[in-house]
Structure 1
Amino acid sequence: MGKGYNARIAANPYIVGSFACIGGGLFGLDISSMSAVLSNDAYSRVFHRPGPNAQGAIVASMPAGSLVGALAVTFLADRIGRKKTIILAGIIWVIGSILQCASVNRGMLVVGRIIAGMSVGISSAIVPIYQSEITAPAIRGRMVSLQQWSITWGILIQYFIAFGCSYIDGVASFRIPWGLQMIPAIILSVGMLFFPESPRWLFDQGREDEARQILADLHGDGNLDNELVVLEYEEIKQQVYFERTEGAKSYVDLIKPGVFRRVVLGSSLQMWSQLSGMNIMMYYIIYVFQGAGLTGRRGNLIADSIQYVLNVLLTVPAIIYIDKWGRRPMLLIGTLLMGFWLMLVGGLQGRFGHWGTVDGSRIWVIENNDSATKAIIVCSYLFVCSFAITMGPVSWTYPAEIFPMKVRGKAVSIATATNWLFNFALAWAVPPGLSTIAYKTYFIFGTFNFAAFIHIFFMFPETKQRTLEEVEEIFAQGHVFAAWKVSKDVGKKTLAEVAGQNKGKETNSVDEKASH
């Protein structure tokens, strides 16, 4: 492609976009690498049986590092490019994994998780940007939503590895899974060497011929005159020329009229995805099922694995149909369903549970009530299914497509940093919460989902099947508190219109130079 990218495999947008998703899978690996060891005796011995607050701090150290990594993308994405930033994320993950695998105390484990978290923060911010900039509008939602699917696969694969290793006596039972998680990162960093850079970033760097060739290879079978390729090239050209007249890129641009609203939308969506309660069901599902009365380590691990399988399977329909269903309907339906299931879990726990002791820890538990236990497990499964098919994929897709290119790297990293900020807070707060206010924790997250529904209904416009440049017109139209009024035809342009606008801009630019 362009210079040296002649292999057909590197010219397939599905392969290019999906391979980058390995970066998202790193987050999934971390989630289940911790959730699977919570009932591991060797882990408890080596790290001195951490209580609710200490365990929360260990788990939260990863999103703390991710917050730093996501913010670093504001610099890295524009300075060294999307591709090299993804490669860097893989290298950092390997370093963090080595420290975790070799850790002999809580301090070393936390440092390793912080470093690995930096990698996850970088990749979770840069991969959606990269995907959105190398895919055509008709499949962009599908490709970016693969980020969420890769997370679910990372959770599932690592969980079964940890599950199998749990039958090994001694520290190898958790060190082997933590060591094996280096392999995907190595594959990511090496593999990305053979894939193209973002054409939008290249154009912004003045490498216009390279950008056009990559667009042709990705979307026109190498034909520079393909109508879609010409249209995308002209729209990128128009947008870049416009943004160059606006001055240098800076954080001040994020609070300018028209941009700040989108920063708030992207950040709040990432916030709602965390406040939905999915953290409880991923990081601490063992605690949830213990409280429901599911006893026995083997039975608990099997029940957990079913949830992770459902998470993978139910993400598939969202990937296939996200560009048909639209972002708004998926978010609205998802938040309502998730709030409903969490309220049911909290109600069942409150009605049939009581304070008790499980494995030496104080916990709100249901005992000798198989019906209530099964009902809570089913509601937990349905909650995860609801997240997987709605909020999960859209929470990564929407922020990646609503920002102008001038601030896209900074804005998406801010939105992703918001995700990790709330992930950090909740990862630390949930264990103490379950051990103090118990079932009321579910009511809190259920209420968050209903609040998200109201926010999304009034303020989130639909963006499906629009080019990144057409999204500009959607937000230029207004409707700040009436998102449902945005017309389906807003921003739609023909090739002739785009070319005409560019010609006018270039003419004006020449006239300005002549006048000086």
Structure 2
Amino acid sequence: MDNPKFNLVPKSSRLISILLVAASCVTSSETLGFDGSMMNGLNILPSYTDFFHLNTTTLALNTASVWLGGCIAGFFYGLVTDAIGRKNSLLLAAIITILGVILQTASQNVAMFVVSRIIIGFGTAGSGSAGPTYLAETLPFEWRAWGLGVFYDFWYVGGLIASGVTYGTAKMDSTWAWRIPSALQGLFSVVCILLLPFIPESPRWLVHKGRHEEALEVVALTYADGDQQNPVVLAQYKQIIDTLKYEVENGETLGLMQTVKTPSSRKRLLLAISVAIITMLSGNNIISYYLGTMLDNAGITDTTTQLEINIILNAWCLTIALIGTYLVDKMGRKLVAVCSTIFLIIFLFMFGGLTAAYGTSTNTAGIYGTVAALFLFQGSYSFGWTPLTVLYPPEVLNFPIRANGMAIYNFFTNAVGLLVTFAFPYALATIEWKIYMINGAWDVLELAFVLYFWVETKGKTLEEIDELFDGVKHSDVPDLEAILNGKVDVSDLIVESVEVTDKAQAKVGVKGAKDDAE
């Protein structure tokens, strides 16, 4: 008898649940994207720079302070996420972000503006820790790349909206030219709060808390439209039970020390941190926050033209990022990262060379070539590193260190972001195009790290990824991809019993799973 292939093409309620889960989390990246593009626009507007009497130092401080708030959140928000749950952590972070947005909109001086952006940074970093953790643990594995990839693809949705808003308010003579964009930044957090009542909690967190029936319901909803007897649902559920039980029995806790307790944990954390550093130090953040200065150096000084380029650039990057997200499950995480890095190195060197050659000239062709290199660089970055930003870290981090690991990841993201956004205005003012050459040389080292250290994770559940780091999978259930492809006979797969006790101590049995792949 042929092995059955389980058709998990989304039915209506399953698809709606998956979309709502993803939509509730991407709001934090939309807020960050809006913030980056908004600050790009504000740094170009005289109504903003004149109101605060900005010089190089205060320009950098106003822009970079959002990362300081993120660093603060990185110290402990993982503990919050483990303690109160993924959903409640998203709610708390959204509320904090809204409070910061209100304060920024009402700012009367540099100090008030800086404090407001620290609060916004704290809130968005909290969402950036809880959101990817929640998505990785809740989405079916075949949707995980899309959900986590789209998480930062929507950075450009926020950026596109902000670039349009700042373009529209640029001609206002009052402070509302920058206050209106500041106020609209809170819109995405409001959307998040409105969506949270309609989405489930992470099934892995529920199992950890002993809420097994609820966890099974969530797995069934996201994998099989609520069918709790579906063999794939039972297989994924048992993988979760077995793996969390193994971790508890082997003394793995949810504390910060667990992130560096074992060689496996240290390697996982190193890979997660590598993404934080690469995504912030590849050169893209110069463009994200100081596009106006870069265009000035390239010979394009008209404010309206710069704002128009900002809009087009965000639309271009969103398109390329979605293509990369589509391919990340086909090509694999490592190959996408390698291809993205190779091309961004080439185009960053090209941009630096063209800026050096034509930045002070009136050569129209040279200036257009410089802008083209800028677009190609951002497209190269967007293809790989935008979807990988929060896709790879929660995949390589296992449950005991996932929330705290993502908080540490966000600490490094914000710390490097703080360094870049504060230091680069000085670099652009003093050494100009040479900073792009220095950055390009650093990107070569990033490429070498990915080639040597990265582990491929495509096509595996979070529990199956453990085998890549620990050498063994902590469940005897066949791989879900093999089940879906009909390579394993699971017609007799049943969960015999589930005894709900403390912290994943469940008795679950599986009968009749036979590997027919050979």
Query: Does TM, normalized by the shorter one, top 0.5?
Result: yes
CA offsets, 1:177-234, max 9 Å, x none?
1112222211211221221111110110000100001111111111101122111100
CA offsets, 1:313-367, max 9 Å, x none?
1111122222112101110011111111111111222334xxxxxxxxxxxx423
Q: Following TM superposition, by how much is the alpha carbon of 1:13 offset from its aligned partner in structure 2, in angstroms?
A: 1.5
Structure 2 CA distance, aligned partners of 1:8 and 1:258?
38
SS of the equivalent of 1:259 reads helix
Contact 2:101–2:185 at 8 Å: present in 1 too?
yes
Match of residue 403 from structure 2 = 409
Q: Provide structure 2 residue ranges, at least 5 long, that are not aligned to the other structure.
A: 1-11, 473-478, 508-518
Contact 2:65–2:117 at 8 Å: present in 1 too?
yes
Q: Following TM superposition, by how much is the alpha carbon of 1:51 offset from its aligned partner in structure 2, in angstroms?
A: 1.8
Q: Following TM superposition, by how much is the alpha carbon of 1:16 offset from its aligned partner in structure 2, in angstroms?
A: 1.7
Indicate how the Cα distance of structure 1 residues 334 and 439 shifts in structure 2: closer, same or farther if over 3 A, else same. same
AA matched with 1:394: L
AA matched with 1:279: N
CA offsets, 1:23-48, max 9 Å, x none?
22111111112110112111122101
Structure 2 CA distance, aligned partners of 1:10 and 1:460?
32
Indicate how the Cα distance of structure 1 residues 254 and 29 shifts in structure 2: closer, same or farther if over 3 A, else same. same
Match of residue 59 from structure 1 = 63
1:268 aligns with 2:268: no
Structure 1 CA distance, aligned partners of 2:22 and 2:67?
24
Alignment of 1:29-428 (within 5 A): 29-48=34-53, 50-247=54-251, 248-255=253-260, 256-352=262-358, 365-428=359-422
Contact 2:56–2:425 at 8 Å: present in 1 too?
yes
Indicate how the Cα distance of structure 1 residues 284 and 16 shifts in structure 2: closer, same or farther if over 3 A, else same. same
CA offsets, 1:230-267, max 9 Å, x none?
11100000111011112232222111121101101110
Contact 1:11–1:217 at 8 Å: present in 2 too?
no
Structure 1 CA distance, aligned partners of 2:427 and 2:493?
58
Structure 2 CA distance, aligned partners of 1:136 and 1:491?
11
Q: Following TM superposition, by how much is the alpha carbon of 1:492 offset from its aligned partner in structure 2, in angstroms?
A: 7.0
CA offsets, 1:132-153, max 9 Å, x none?
1111111211110111111110
Structure 2 CA distance, aligned partners of 1:184 and 1:490?
35
Q: Following TM superposition, by how much is the alpha carbon of 1:510 offset from its aligned partner in structure 2, in angstroms?
A: 11
Indicate how the Cα distance of structure 1 residues 498 and 419 shifts in structure 2: closer, same or farther if over 3 A, else same. farther
Match of residue 29 from structure 2 = 24
Scaled by the length of structure 1, the TM-score of the pair is: 0.88
SS of the equivalent of 2:42 reads coil
AA matched with 1:344: M
Indicate how the Cα distance of structure 1 residues 428 and 501 shifts in structure 2: closer, same or farther if over 3 A, else same. farther
AA matched with 2:60: G
Q: Following TM superposition, by how much is the alpha carbon of 1:501 offset from its aligned partner in structure 2, in angstroms?
A: 12
Question: RMSD of the TM alignment (CA)?
Answer: 2.5
SS of the equivalent of 1:21 reads helix
CA offsets, 1:147-168, max 9 Å, x none?
1111110111011111101111
Indicate how the Cα distance of structure 1 residues 477 and 510 shifts in structure 2: closer, same or farther if over 3 A, else same. closer
1:449 aligns with 2:443: yes
Structure 2 CA distance, aligned partners of 1:492 and 1:410?
31
Match of residue 481 from structure 1 = none
Q: Following TM superposition, by how much is the alpha carbon of 1:9 offset from its aligned partner in structure 2, in angstroms?
A: 7.3
Indicate how the Cα distance of structure 1 residues 175 and 454 shifts in structure 2: closer, same or farther if over 3 A, else same. same
Contact 2:31–2:186 at 8 Å: present in 1 too?
no
Scaled by the length of structure 2, the TM-score of the pair is: 0.88
AA matched with 2:65: S
**Counterpart selection for 1:15 from 17, 20, 25:** 20
Identity percentage of aligned residues: 26
Structure 2 CA distance, aligned partners of 1:31 and 1:297?
17
Structure 2 CA distance, aligned partners of 1:56 and 1:129?
31
Structure 1 CA distance, aligned partners of 2:268 and 2:468?
11
Structure 2 CA distance, aligned partners of 1:300 and 1:342?
19
Q: Following TM superposition, by how much is the alpha carbon of 1:497 offset from its aligned partner in structure 2, in angstroms?
A: 13
Contact 1:346–1:443 at 8 Å: present in 2 too?
yes
Bigger shift: 62-71 or 168-177? Answer: 62-71
Structure 2 CA distance, aligned partners of 1:496 and 1:241?
23
Structure 2 CA distance, aligned partners of 1:497 and 1:129?
32
SS of the equivalent of 1:12 reads helix
Structure 1 CA distance, aligned partners of 2:226 and 2:336?
35
Contact 1:311–1:388 at 8 Å: present in 2 too?
yes
Contact 1:70–1:414 at 8 Å: present in 2 too?
yes
Bigger shift: 469-478 or 312-321? Answer: 469-478
Contact 1:17–1:134 at 8 Å: present in 2 too?
no
CA offsets, 1:77-135, max 9 Å, x none?
10000001111111111100011000010000000000001011011121111111111
Indicate how the Cα distance of structure 1 residues 243 and 154 shifts in structure 2: closer, same or farther if over 3 A, else same. same
